[in-house]
Amino acid sequence: MQQTATPRLFGTFTNWARRTTTSFAELRFLPRPRQEVMATTEGLVYRLKHWPDLANTNKTAGVYRTLSMMSHRPVNRHWILAQSGLPELQVDRLLRQLVSEGAVDVIDTSGYAAERLAT
């Protein structure tokens, strides 16, 4: 009796997993509207060239986390706001300071998005 219950139970879980996986997999490939793609790819990205002189108010975990990531790869303002935990005003102030010191490369990615969408 246990031998028949185990395959049925296993089959039930297998079917459930297959249906669940398939439905989630289909959601991954839904096409996004062109405007949404452009909105997420346009804008400026910042890559740290050298470590800046930080004021005491900027010596926080959020700022250090942001600068650390910027030293590895370019990040945009939206990423900084989402990942650093810094208020919007402080992010804008930090970016202005980094640009004025020449501590970052500023890259406008809007041209890349237009090229990619045209092909």
Range in 1-5, 11-15, 75-79 with the lowest mean pLDDT: 1-5
Q: Tell me the C-alpha distance between 6 and 71, whole Å.
A: 54
Q: What is the pLDDT of residue 76?
A: 93
Quote the longest CA-to-CA distance of the chain: 77
In the numeric block, the tokens 């237009």 are attached to: 114
15's torsion region: left (phi>0), alpha (psi -120 to 50) or beta?
alpha
Q: Look at 14 and 67; give whichever has higher pLDDT.
A: 67
For the chain, what percent of residues have pLDDT higher than 90?
51
Q: How far apart are the first and last CA of the chain?
A: 62
Q: Look at 7 and 21; give whichever has higher pLDDT.
A: 7
39-86 confidence digits (pLDDT tens): 444 589 999 999 999 989 899 999 999 999 999 999 999 999 999 999
